[in-house]
Chains A and B, each alone.
Chain A
């Protein structure tokens, strides 16, 4: 398993297959437990990571996920960055609409992931790729 994860440094995981999405989930869960997120918040951030990692795989054609522990002086949390160099998103507002999908899913992954975390940032350039950053703080 992913025990023995060095929390001092950001952990990177390449995403190129369905198994990698599972590895991302396990990595995020390990870090979420380590920064003492509540069970509900652990589940939320793991689920958000699962959605975004799958987006990276399915729409971005694969990429990398980086998980880091962050500290703002009052609280600790974890920040996860999903990077792909796929086609990008032409209309971010539309992509963030509930029920909008181009891939036959439920169309809730991106918008749902935004609701599951505390901070959500998406940077995308059509033709160059997408970078999604999420942060979840411990309560």
Chain B
């Protein structure tokens, strides 16, 4: 249901003539809900901006939020919910921030209680409802894009390739190894092998909670790819429960060296490269 042109202009008039009273009421109601989590100055600025956008939109004859005249208003609302989402407010708090305008309007209208006023109020409410729902949707969209960004960042974060020793690089895998991450890991590892000229790579799976056939296949493929480039891979971090699961599943790692811990794997590689590790003799007390 949309507003009639008359209702739209009456709402615009009301918002203009009683501007101060409406924005003040509106601010107070929101402030009550947020309990000081947003500074008063910031809140006043937001409310005034919303108010101005509404007056502008109504001035252009907006009867429906989806109309062309309301483009500016939609942009302001979207900006408002983006800000709320990023500051950690809930979707409900964001939408009720808009719905609070109804209460503020009611307070202004109360003096005059004719049936026309009631009709107008219902009509105004539909527009405000539309605005509230719009902020709700924008809020959800913002949160979704935030989550998508974070997922991407996590993908980047969680796959470092570190140099352990001259000629030895390691990939500590943490979390779920799905196809996308396996691809990133393989690319990173192979690139690092070229960049550092390392003949040995250790893939540590201590942080992988479950090794199923897909994870195993990803690891095996990475090892084969590294071998094609002339590097030897060692898999470390095989805990007892993972070892038993791998056996029961029937996965065979063939001639790939596997070790229980990263330390064992490093010692194994150092021995292969001819580096001697020796415990220093404890100094004798005279």
Which residues of A does B touch, CB under 8 Å?
A: 18, 22, 25, 29, 39-40, 42-44, 46-47, 50-51, 54, 98, 105-106, 108-109, 111-113, 115-116
Contact = CB atoms under 8 A, between A and B. Distances in A.
B178 A112 contact: no
A79 to B, nearest CB: 19
B210 A25 contact: yes
Interface residues of B, number: 20
Contact of A108 (B176, B210, B251): B251
A51 B212 contact: yes
A47 B249 contact: yes
A115 B210 contact: no
B240 interface: yes
Task: Identify the interface centre among B179, B214, B217: most chain A CB within 10 Å of its CB.
Answer: B214
Given A18-B179, A22-B176, A44-B245, A115 B250 contact: yes
Interface in B77-130: none
B213 A106 contact: yes
Interface string B195-215: 000000000000001111110
Contact of B242 (A22, A29, A43, A116): A43
Given A40-B245, A47-B210, A116-B249, 6 more contacts: A39-B241, A50-B214, A51-B213, A105-B214, A108-B249, A113-B249
Contacts of A116: 245, 248-249
A77 B248 CA distance: 19
B214 A43 contact: no
A109 B212 contact: yes
A70 B4 CA distance: 62
Contact of A44 (B176, B214, B216, B248): B248
B244 interface: yes
A98 B245 contact: no
Contacts of B242: 43
Interface in B242-264: 242, 244-245, 248-251
A105 B217 CA distance: 7
B216 A47 contact: no
A111 B212 contact: no
A40 B213 contact: no
Contacts of B249: 47, 51, 108, 112-113, 115-116
B211 A47 contact: yes
A42 to B, nearest CB: 7
20 contacts: A18-B179, A22-B178, A25-B176, A25-B210, A42-B241, A43-B210, A43-B242, A44-B245, A44-B248, A46-B210, A51-B213, A51-B249, A54-B212, A54-B214, A106-B213, A108-B251, A112-B213, A115-B248, A115-B250, A116-B245
A8 B12 CA distance: 56
Contacts of A42: 241
B212 A43 contact: no
Given A25-B210, A47-B212, A106 B241 contact: no
Q: Which of B212, B213, B214, B216 has the most CB of A within 10 A?
A: B212
Contacts of B179: 18
A22 B179 CA distance: 12
A124 to B, nearest CB: 20
